[in-house]
């Protein structure tokens, strides 16, 4: 499947259960992509620079703590 029309045609043949799964997974993808794009745009625009400054300030004053485990 390489075109939107082919995808739409395939979805028309899904069972209700398959349609529900498809819509749920599609929504997850769209949300993740939008969030990633927004974070990238914010970083490029300098809107996240304050995080680096805060970390530098904390490191310089000796108050920097380790993040949660697994991060």
Task: Delimit the domains of the chain by residue range.
Answer: 15-60
At residue 1 the predicted structure's pLDDT band, cuts being 50, 70 and 90, is: low
Distance between CA atoms of residues 48 and 55, nearest Å: 12
Q: Is the pTM of this model over 0.95?
A: no
In tens, the pLDDT along 7-30 reads 999 999 999 999 999 999 988 887
Instruction: Indicate whether 66 pLDDT > 70.
Output: yes
What mean pLDDT do residues 35-39 have?
90
The CA–CA distances, whole Å, from 22 to 4, 26, 37, 50 equal 14, 6, 22, 39
Predicted confidence band at 71 (pLDDT cuts at 50, 70, 90)? low
């Amino acid at each position: 499947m390489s075109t939107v029309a082919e995808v739409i045609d395939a979805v028309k043949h899904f069972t209700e259960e398959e349609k529900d799964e498809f819509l749920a997974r599609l929504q997850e993808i769209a949300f993740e992509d939008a969030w990633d794009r927004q974070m990238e745009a914010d970083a490029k625009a300098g809107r996240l620079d304050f995080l680096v400054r805060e970390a530098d300030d904390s490191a310089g004053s000796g108050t920097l703590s380790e993040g949660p485990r697994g991060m």
